[in-house]
Structure 1
Amino acid sequence: MDTSDSDTSDSTGAAGRGPGPRDEWWHANPPMLERILALSPAGMAVLDRDLCFVWVNEALERLGGLPRDQRLGKRLRDVLPLLDLKLDAQGIESRTREVLDTGRPLVDHLLRGGTKAHPHRPHAYSLSIFRLHDAANRVLGVSFIVLDVTDRWRARDRLALLNEVGAQTSSTLDVMHTAQTLADISVPRLADFVAVDLLESVIRGDTPRPGAPLHAPQLRRAGQQSIHEGVPESVAATGQAVSFHPQSPEMQCMQDGRSRLEAMPGASTSSWFATDPARTAKIQEFGFCSLILVPIRALGDVLGVVRFIRWQLRDPFEQDDLLLADEVVARAAVSIDNARRYTRQHSTALALQRSLLPRSLTGGSTLDVAWRYLPARASDGAGGDWCDVIPLSGARVAMVVGDVVGHGIDAAATMGRLRTTVRTLADMDLPPDELLAHLDDLVLRLIDEEQTADPALTPAALGATCLYAVYDPATRTCTMSRAGHPPAAVITPDGSVTFPDLPAGPPLGLGALPFESAEVDIVDGSILALYTDGLIEARDQDMGLGLSRLRTALASPGAQLDELCGTVLNDVLTGRPDDDVALLLARTHALYEDQVATWDLTSHPSVVADARSLTADRLAAWGLDGLTFTFELIVSELVTNAIRYGHGHLRLRLIRQDALICEVSDASSSSPRMRHARTTDEDGRGLFLVAQLAHRWGTRYTTDGKIVWAEERLPANGDRHRAA
């Protein structure tokens, strides 16, 4: 190449500094320049316009494993297939031709591929190509520079693998899913087969006992992945128990907490895949199977062991692979331990919640009841939803459904306190709106306690919603009151669904507005549906759409309650709910005329005898002569007390249902109180006798007075139900 022209000085005086001492040295030492290029650690070559090699340095000669004399004068497309490198010859020539035609250089283009000696071990090369001109700016050809950047590429790939393991395994709080994610990421980037075996206690969420002996039944396959589809029968499936000999490398790895790198002969490992002849033949062909064992450790506890196996990749594991496997497992172990801790907390919260929920619900002969409780997704934790059915006096039944804000143990504990409080207040026979007012006072006290301990908490984070309903089979009405809760649904026997217009009321814990009740007439045989907002609301669904789906699902005339519960959950929910779901369905059974007897009485003392006579006649008509003496005495005492301490007209009502019920009402709001009379007292023993004779007794207040009632169990052969 002619370098005497003045234009060369301009071009070689790079950086635009013009001619100077450097240019004189440059022109005076072409042999030195050629020597520098020849000894450069970067592979370099010059090709002419036909892409034939005209110059190759020693580094490129070593890189491709092909002598210089077998390259010079030959086209690029003919030389590349002869090299030890397994690269895309057609693609490289295409890019080189593009640089020659356009003059646009190709800089730091990454090439990846193996070598003929190591076809399964990828290498990485940085390729730069630029066009060459002479002094007259005529195109002479191209030059390219190749650098082996395998170490840099592998370091970057390993860093990316570690980042991916840390990010993806921490995206879930499920132990099994976390273990499977570890296996999925590691194949094929690190191994051909990965198996993650965890202690049974870890999968349950328990803390491994330090120094406890490790036996085969305590280990379970939590996740595995292979470069081949399916798993041989000789390999444990995910979820199955795995067994290792006490002296096996796996057990020793867990005992001493140290990783191991082993190369096993193909003959000894082919039986490991005995049911896969093709895989066995592949192992035998390569002659070995390389194995890495890494214990899963977190905060000093050994949680399990991971096996990394290579048989498809020709190169066995190296020490660098062991270090990488250690770091991969270490990052995943943090996520597995977090998932284990969450599993334990979630299981504890669910156990607490289920222990606080009713074992069974029954409405006696007044209501047929079916219910479902469905916890939210594991990532959200146990919630504070509950439902309950509470028998009341006078054959009435209360139904309640509630939802505590938040999730976890605190929400479950608060739910238990509210449920207990509701049952206590229900025993006092309070009207629904008054019961919610007392419940609101309790929630306000709980909020004050929590805010005293943690001032950052807001009332909205500690509140609850509730719907309380009382069904009276005698009047065939249902009185409801709600505190920020979704409305109940009423399904008539013909399948029509309505949502009664109930005053919404504020959520519990605000203490701002009063609660109101509404009375709804209920056709005999109708179904009352109470539920929590987790059934009709979701992140991708508003309440309106949820109510529409619920209406459609409930419109099933004649459906069995258990079957209807399943239909509602399947049709309304689009997947695992974001929040807990409590669903309560109750079919009503009204009292018929021959089950209720009512008499209006005057306040004259002589009416007591009449009351006894009316009671005896009615019990005889009901075939309950055996209870006549007892109930005559109970009625006599209750009517006498009403005459003596009450005022206004009296009413006596007898109800035959699951029990025989006596009710005496008057216009006084004074509460009767049982006394323990002394031996010298002439009176004061009436309510004491009632308490001794009746199964239970009590008082409930009405808008125009009170009702004192007493219940007695029917005989085992008593006729409790009206004949069909």
Structure 2
Amino acid sequence: MVRFNGAPRATGPAAGGTGPVRSRERFLEGGPVEAGVRTSISTSWQRCRTLGLSPDGFDLPFRDDVDTEARIIRAAVPVLDRLQYEFAGSQMNICVADASGTVLLRRFGEASLARSLPAIQRLPGFVFAEQFAGTNGIGLALAERRLIRVYGAEHFAERSQGSACRALPVRDPLSGRIEGVLCLGYPRSFDDPALATVIGQAARAIERRLLRHSSARERALLRVYLEAEAQAAVGREHTIGLDELALGPHSGDRAILMEKATELISCAQRAAVYVPLSDGRCVTLLSRPMTSATGVEGLAVEAVLPGPAPRDPLTVSRRIDEVPDRLAGPAASRGGPPADADAVAAPGLIVTGGRGGTAVGAEDDHPVPVPPSRQLLLVGEPQVGQYALAARRRLELLSEASTRIGTTLDVRRTAQELAQTAVPQLADYVTIDLPEAVLRGEESADPHGDLRRTVVHGIRDDCPFHPVGKQVDYGPTTPQLRSLTSGEAVLEPDLKIAAGWLAHDPEHSGELLAHVHSLIAVPLVARGVVLGVAAFYRGQDPAPFGDDDRSLAQELASRAALSIDNARRYTHERSMVLALQRSLLPRGLPDQDTVEVAHRYLPAESDVGGDWYDVIPLSGTRIGLMVGDVVGHGMLSAATMGRLRTAARSFAELDFPPDEVLTHLDNLVGRLDREDPTTDAADIIGATCLYAVYDPTTQRCTMARAGHPPPALVRPDGTVSFPELPAGPPLGLGGLPFEAVEVDLPEGSQLVLYTDGLIEDRDRDVDRVLDQLRRALAHPERTPEETCQVVLNSVAPAHPGDDIALLVARTHALDPDRIASWDLQPDPALVSDVRARAMRQLADWGLDEAAFAAELMLSELVTNAIRHGSGPIRVRLLHDRNLICEVSDTSNTAPHLRRAASTEEGGRGLFLVAQLAQSWGTRYLPQGKVIWAECGI
């Protein structure tokens, strides 16, 4: 014991009591608890209000049947005598209460203090449990189950306003159960932080003495066993110890034997168990009950192997009276090695070896030779065996949790794994509530008030918990909100007397009490972020939760919280990348009659990649169809995809043919690699792409690909084929040309473009997947929307590891009656003839309103072709959604729009065309070019 020599002094700004006094007065007047009050005190005040206690109108129960021979009294008397000596001459009031809050012992630093205090502060027998005495040291220590400091106005009772106290639970070292409370009471001016150290040392001293009393019971059982063995008859089948079994390197056999022996003791009955060893032998473990002269009941476990008795007679090498008084459990209970390094015994169980074996005490490192004839494996009390089994199973549960919790990066799945791990090993039911923001991958702005039931899991499905998805509102005195506020687990061993839990929702609480009786509420906190709360309930198991269970629940929740936070962060990042990805993909389909299009984008489960698709209207009623895939996943891939898609669309709208579009994209990807100084060999940007241009006037499609899977072509008769396209290198490699191929697409055909995530998977064969795709597409009567859905349902992997982009286009042909064309020689005199033919055609189509603009545009375009072009000239009118005028020649020179000076005679034709047309441009042919202009109708 360290002597306390601190001078009496007040500490902290609350020494005068003005803060707590004002907060307490406002609370007693019916107001809320102010923010400056400590969480443990505020929750205790709220419980007192719920119980209907008055600060000056209640009397404490008194018990006159205190057991003066209780274990806690015998263990505490010497320690309290020492404390009384340490605080001699001071106004210190030292007491010990039992687990119900009844004061059993009192000591005073100044003897005269006992005569001046009221009876409740000097006589044993008064009950200071919180439900009777309100907020006080003993009651709050039992409620919070930890070291407590109550100062001045933090007391609920008026008579305690001038005092302060510190109280600490005293636990049984074997079971962990609270046996009592040690409390130091003193005037407010005597408060000092060093008192926390003093009371902690004193409580540990009492707990060590409790362990010695348990050791004495074990010694009595060992003495009975040895005396019985000394009187046993010679000639029976002999019992053997671990050494005689010659287990050798099979340490697993030793652990199994010790575990089975502990289970036999915990069963508290005579039994025999056959234990097979790794070498094929079978050992029989026998347990037999014993009772000492003082009435201690226990069991001894022996290992039995049939065979002849040993040659040498077995003699007792040491009298049992020489066994040290401090003999208890294994040395492992205080950190030292056990007698047999391979045989780890349970706390409080005496372990013996075989011939030449030893018994080891919990507080004595000196081995005690066990007579070779005894051949004892374990001896102990059933309760101690149960504690050992419980401790072992807690370790097994933690080990299991490390493999079961956090297997995915899904918030809901991780919460479900926590519940599945805890049921039924720890709890019968588990509920988990998470804020809606956490489920979306964000941090909650109000984690206390925005909780939604996320998981309900238990041994049965009929327990009336709030259903999944329901918003849960907890009151200020409920264990769940108290745990969220304090950041620590809250234990309610008996829900029938949990006032705050009952008062919050009496009707629902009453329904739950028919199914559950004990509760642990644990906050889910990781990296300083409050993620939610988990509630563990017991209903079928009659034993209430204890502090060991609370520690286990806290450990499970802490591990799960880290996994949930990892999943939350991943969900947040994935949502950001997915939002970026979707914002960079087409938000709608262009209005056109060339093809009927449907598309799908399915992100990978693990991460978002860089797949894209696009539908690009081109001149001459043509349509461009494109799919691509950027290598890798994450934000960089999504951003790169956006850059490539924008560039690809720009190149396509310049009317470059597919192979040239891919060439420009290849140069762009290579330039992006060279411009990024942080890119190394492992992060080189790469991509694949497939680009197809369909012309409804000729029903032909031109396609080229860069390392991309070929498209699927579905003919109107249902025939499915995969056109042989030159593969071409992926974008970014450079050095090799791309080749374009033309194929015929009769009207009603379907062109299916996709990325490799649809067909490639490490668990599937590509050829088989292509056969599945062929069968799924062999139904030309389906619409593109139906085709997309069927392909995803029947061909796509159930858990895609890569993004999937799918584009299905059903082709339509432009009616020949909507196409008019004329060939003419480069003669200016023929311009008027072309205008006349065009006006007649427009009249036939009913486009008289567009005739004036079309006539002017045709005149300018044909005149420019005659003056600046070469070879035969072709004029074509297309009547689609708009009117399209095209003039082609064999020259590669392209006109440029410019502003003509006032003195120039030319240069105004294209300016006039640009003013009259909605759009205009140039596209190049293998021989020549086409100048086109489009005007609305």
* One-letter code aligned to 1:310: R
| 2:791 aligned to which of 559, 562, 568 | 568
Q: Deviations over 1:335-363 (max 9, x none)?
A: 11100000101111111111111112246
Decide which of 184, 187, 201 is 2:423's aligned counterpart: 187
Task: Report matched runs for 1:7-406 at 5 Å.
Answer: 40=222, 46=229, 86=267, 91-92=272-273, 106=283, 128-129=303-304, 144-148=376-380, 152-209=388-445, 212=446, 214-215=448-449, 218-226=450-458, 228-232=459-463, 234-266=464-496, 289-362=517-590, 364-377=592-605, 380-406=606-632
Q: Match of 1:258, SS?
A: coil
Greater shift, 248-257 or 691-700, is seen at 248-257
Q: Is the 8 A contact 2:422 2:430 kept in 1?
A: yes
Counterpart AA for 1:652: V
Cα distance in 2 between the residues matched to 1:532 and 1:455: 26
* Corresponding residue to 1:457 among 667, 671, 682: 682
Deviations 1:209-251 (A, max 9, x none): 4xx4732xx111222321x22143x312233322212442311
Please show how residues 579-618 of structure 1 align to structure 2 within 5 Å: 579-618=802-841
Q: Does the 8 Å contact 1:532/1:583 carry over to 2?
A: yes
Secondary structure of 2:552's match? helix
Asked if 1:480 is matched to 2:703, the reply is yes
Partner secondary structure for residue 453 of structure 1: coil
* CA drift at 1:366: 0.7
Stretches of structure 2 that go unaligned for 5 or more consecutive residues are: 1-217, 240-260, 288-297, 315-372
Give distance in 2, aligned partners of 1:494 and 1:42.
Answer: 95
1:178 aligns to what SS in structure 2? Answer: helix
* Distance in 2 separating the partners of 1:549 and 1:353: 29
Residues in 1 aligned to 2:639 and 2:265: alpha-carbon distance in whole angstroms: 70
Quickly say closer, same or farther: Cα 1:400–1:341, change in 2 above 3 A.
same
Residue 89 of structure 1 deviates from its aligned partner by 5.2
| CA deviation string 1:165-216 (max 9, x = no partner) | 233222210001101111111112222222121122111110234xx4732x
- Identity value in percent: 48
Q: String of CA shifts for 1:597-617, please: whole Å, max 9, x gaps.
A: 111111111111111111111
Shift of 1:674: 0.9
In 2, the alpha carbon distance for the partners of 1:125 and 1:557 equals: 81
Tell me the secondary structure at the aligned position of residue 385 of structure 1. Answer: strand
Aligned CA distance change for structure 1 residues 49 and 500 (closer, same or farther; 3 Å): farther
Amino acid aligned to 2:456: Q
Name the CA distance, whole Å, in 1 between partners of 2:405 and 2:286. 30
Residue pair 2:873, 2:887 contacting (<8 A) in 1 also:
yes
Quote the residue 1:411 is aligned against.
637
The AA in structure 1 aligned to 2:487 is: G
Could you tell me whether the CA contact under 8 Å between 2:495 and 2:519 is conserved in 1?
Answer: no
Match of 2:179 in 1: none
Q: Tell me: CA distance 1:541–1:135, structure 2 relative to 1, closer, same or farther (3 Å).
A: closer
Question: How many angstroms does 1:557 deviate by?
Answer: 2.7
Secondary structure in 2 matching 1:189: coil
Letter in 1 for 2:877: L
8 Å contact kept, 1:469–1:479: yes
Matched, 1:540 2:763: yes
2:651 to 425, 441, 447: 425
The equivalences for 1:676-695 within 5 A come to 676-695=899-918
Please say if residues 597 and 655 of structure 1, whose CA atoms lie closer than 8 Å, have aligned partners that are also in contact.
Answer: yes
Change (3 A) 1:39 1:164: closer
Aligned to 2:214: none
Q: 1:125-153 CA deviation, whole Å, 9 max, x = no partner?
A: 975335686676899x9954324565554
**Mean CA deviation greater in 696-705 or 164-173:** 164-173
Following TM superposition, by how much is the alpha carbon of 1:399 offset from its aligned partner in structure 2, in angstroms?
0.3
Q: CA deviation at 1:40?
A: 4.0
Secondary structure of the corresponding residue to residue 756 of structure 2: coil
Q: For the Cα contact (< 8 Å) 2:431–2:536, is it kept in 1?
A: yes
The superposition leaves residues 527-546 of structure 1 with CA deviations (integer Å, 9 ceiling, x where unpaired) of 11111111112121122111
Q: Retained in 2: the 8 A contact 1:375–1:382?
A: yes
CA RMSD for the aligned pairs? 3.5
Check the 8 A contact 2:435/2:447 in 1, yes or no: no
Residue 530 (structure 1) aligned to one of 740, 745, 753: 753
Q: What is the number of equivalent residue pairs in this alignment?
A: 619
Structure 1's unaligned 5+ residue stretches are 1-35, 55-79, 112-122, 284-288, 715-724
Could you say if the C-alpha distance between residues 124 and 314 of structure 1 is closer, same or farther in structure 2, counting changes exceeding 3 Å? farther
**What letter corresponds to residue 335 of structure 1 in structure 2?**
S
Inter-partner Cα distance in structure 1 for 2:523 and 2:611: 41
Residue 521 of structure 1 deviates from its aligned partner by: 0.8
- Tell me the equivalent position of 2:337: none
Amino acid paired to 2:543: D
Moved more, 302-311 or 386-395: 302-311
Paired with 2:521 and 2:847, the residues of 1 have a C-alpha distance of 79
SS in 2 for 1:202: helix
Closer, same or farther in 2 for the Cα pair 1:522/1:151, shift >3 Å? same
* TM, length-normalised to structure 1: 0.79
TM-score w.r.t. length of structure 2:
0.61
Q: Which among 692, 699, 705 is matched to residue 922 of structure 2?
A: 699
Q: How far apart are 1:435 and its partner, in Å? A: 0.2
Decide which moves more: 385-394 or 410-419: 410-419
Amino acid corresponding to residue 191 of structure 1 in structure 2: A
Report the CA distance between 1:447 and its aligned residue.
2.3
Q: Higher relative contact order by CA 8 Å / sep ≥ 6: 1 or 2? A: 1
What is the DSSP-based 3-state SS (H/G/I as helix, E as strand, rest coil) of the residue aligned with 2:743? strand
Aligned to 1:368, the other structure's residue is in SS state: strand
Contact 1:105 1:129 in 2 (8 A): no
